[in-house]
Structure 1
């Protein structure tokens, strides 16, 4: 693969890789370092990339693995406010906005408590909106395993959220229905 092929086939996925790494690491600077490492490794293996069918999925898998390596090494991950930011963009009254913000923060914490595999599958499907086949390529799982893990992750987050907010508040159920 020559430099021009690399620029047209590999570099366009940089924003997606950065979002993916930022979601995992909760730190944009570390995420940028990860993406840079991934691109460096891809460049070093550019002659072997001709044999890779889906370079985007391959790069996503490399990014995921590098992020997991960093997380395992550090074991400390600050929580980001991406979900909170997205909720604030919606036009809702102040009270509802505060309630949604708190709920989103609770849900983000619940998602972060999921096992790595469930958290990854949920992020790829619900945030990045990848197809099941693309997730299968990125995670090396079968589509049925992805569906099962996604279903379990969503159910666990929904049940824990409702349990946290089960003070007879029908508003919590409405929020849960809106978010899930």
Structure 2
């Protein structure tokens, strides 16, 4: 695939890719980075793109996955933050900070036990701050289905959390 074909098949969907990235990340700079990373990866695999029937859906999926990777990286960074006393702000309750970190780590661990679709919808809502409408657009679900999947994911996560206490 040459440059002009790539522009016609991939870069034509740049705006759609950016809208999806922004819906997930809620930050303009991060969204642009995610789209740029996705386009770079697509360019590297441009020879495989000729077999794709729906280029827009393929591009949207690529940027969605890149955004989810970025959210996971943010989460890992938050988990790696030091919790020793010298790193806590004055007035911060040490026990509360440690308990919050442990709870967050436990919830993230339990989220991995959810089915892929539930996990994705829950992360888009929780980490990405996406509305149900945005989740529906990103995942290709109807709004009602997205709402149901989100509700079931929350219910299942609550069950798992209470069971492991």
1:149 counterpart = 2:145: yes
RMSD: 3.1
CA contact (8 A) 2:132 2:147 kept: no
Closer, same or farther: CA 69–154 of 1 in aligned 2, 3 Å: closer
Question: By how many angstroms is 1:23 displaced?
Answer: 1.2
The structural deviation recorded for 1:123 is 1.0
1:150: Cα distance to partner?
2.1
Taking structure 1 as reference, are residues 74 and 54 closer, same or farther at Cα in structure 2, changes over 3 Å only? same
C-alpha distance 120-17 of structure 1, shift in aligned 2 (>3 A)? farther
Superposition pairs of residues 38-77 of structure 1, within 5 angstroms: 38-75=38-75
Q: Residue 134 of structure 2 corresponds to which residue in structure 1?
A: 123
Going from structure 1 to structure 2, the CA distance change for 1:30 and 1:59 (only over 3 Å counts) comes to same
**Matching of residue 24 in structure 1 with residue 9 in structure 2:** no
Q: Distance in 2 between matches of 1:40 and 1:120?
A: 28
TM-score in terms of structure 1 length: 0.49
Structure 1 runs not aligned, ≥5 long? 77-113, 136-145, 157-180
The TM-score, its normalising length taken from structure 2, stands at: 0.53
Q: 5+ residue gaps in structure 2?
A: 78-120, 153-165
What is aligned with 1:7?
7
Q: Deviations over 1:64-96 (max 9, x none)?
A: 1111111111139xxxxxxxxxxxxxxxxxxxx
How has the CA–CA distance of structure 1 residues 120 and 52 changed in structure 2, closer, same or farther, with 3 Å as cutoff? farther
Q: CA deviation at 1:149?
A: 3.0
Which structure carries more relative contact order (alpha carbon 8 Å, separation 6+)?
A: 2
| Cα distance in 2 for residues equivalent to 1:63 and 1:30 | 12
